[in-house]
């Protein structure tokens, strides 16, 4: 499979502190690729580098083989890399339908023409409803977004991300702060909308990671610690040490055969 996103020795330093240290990733087209690690491992900094909210100290970022290391955030988005954030990023006083419609305006070249007549914008309603149906929100189309439960707001973010027609979706902790029911719903949505797309996600919930990830990269102190499938990563003693503070062999009551279960508790 072809590589859609690649980093080569990506590094970011802040006044002598190295937040991301020589990280080389290869995200395969069509995969759900998870970036995990303990708090402070450099995951969000890495996301900020990929979407150019931060400029790398050194290293390269390639998208479809093209060097985008010095590209601006707007150019990154136009090329098809669209990101969600840890906090809910929606327009609270617009309806659910209107939120998705804002995303749909970008390909038409009128993203910022909020003063356009309702009649013109209504031409986007059909596609907006299709996207809402994909994330099970069509029944909330006329609801003011501020009135949505938190889990539904995160689903709306996925719909607005899809409205930008991304080739690569970057999801930053999409289930953060959710109850069990919402986590299950949003996880299923990610798996559903990922068909035909590539997803790179930061996530702390290991039950989510184990259920949908094709490949996992583990960061520790800004460096790449391990990489592989969930089974490979969860049975790696270095990963257990990073998460639990001890290796699998010395964890009380834990054997190599139960390492995946132990890791699921570390989120």
Predicted confidence at residue 21, as pLDDT, reads 96
Structural domain total, the chain: 1
Residue scoring higher pLDDT (38 or 60): 60
What pLDDT is stored for residue 250 in this prediction? 37
| Residue pair 165/104 in contact by the 8 Å Cβ criterion | no
Per the document, the length of the chain is 267
170: in domain: no
Q: Does 15 fall in a domain? A: yes
Please determine, for residue 54, whether its predicted confidence score (pLDDT) is greater than 80: yes
Query: What is the structure's pLDDT at 42?
Result: 92
CATH (domain of 59): 3.40.50.300
Q: Which two tokens stand for residue 182?
A: 């919402």
Q: Per-residue pLDDT averaged across 94-101, rounded?
A: 92
Statement: residue 265 has pLDDT above 70: no
**pLDDT reading at 106 higher than 70:** no
Q: Identify the domain containing residue 240 by its residue range.
A: 1-71+197-267
Please indicate, yes or no, if residue 86 is contained in any of the structural domains: no
Is residue 140 over pLDDT 90? yes
Distance (Å, rounded) from C-alpha 161 to C-alpha 169? 8
Q: What is the mean pLDDT of residues 89-94?
A: 84
| Cα 10 from Cα 217, distance rounded (Å) | 14
Distance CA 42, CA 58 (A): 15
Mean pLDDT across the stretch 44-71? 93
Residue 98 lies in a domain: no
Quote the tokens at residue 246. Answer: 């001890």
């Amino acid at each position: 499979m072809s590589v859609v996103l690649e980093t080569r020795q990506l590094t970011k330093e802040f006044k002598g502190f190295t937040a991301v240290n020589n990280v080389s990733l290869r995200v395969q087209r069509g995969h759900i690729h998870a970036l995990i690690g303990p708090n402070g491992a450099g995951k969000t900094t890495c996301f900020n580098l990929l979407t150019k909210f931060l400029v790398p100290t050194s290293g390269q970022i390639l998208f479809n083989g093209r060097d985008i290391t010095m590209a601006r955030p707007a150019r990154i988005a136009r090329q098809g890399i669209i990101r969600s954030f840890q906090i809910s990023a929606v327009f609270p006083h617009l309806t659910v339908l209107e939120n998705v419609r804002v995303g749909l305006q970008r390909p038409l070249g009128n993203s910022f023409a909020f003063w356009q007549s309702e009649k013109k914008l209504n031409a986007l309603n059909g596609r907006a409803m299709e996207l809402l149906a994909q994330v099970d929100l069509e029944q909330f189309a006329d609801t003011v977004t501020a009135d949505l439960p938190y889990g539904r707001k995160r689903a709306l973010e996925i719909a607005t991300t899809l409205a930008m027609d991304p080739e690569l979706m970057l999801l930053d902790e999409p289930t953060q702060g959710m109850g069990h029911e919402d986590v299950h719903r949003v996880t299923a949505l990610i798996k559903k909308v990922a068909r035909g797309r590539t997803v790179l996600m930061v996530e702390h919930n290991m039950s989510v990671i184990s259920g949908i990830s094709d490949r996992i990269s583990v960061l520790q102190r800004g460096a790449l610690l391990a990489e592989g499938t969930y089974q490979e990563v969860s049975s790696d003693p270095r990963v257990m040490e990073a998460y639990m503070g001890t290796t699998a062999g010395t964890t009380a009551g834990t054997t190599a055969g139960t390492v995946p279960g132990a890791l699921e508790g570390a989120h």
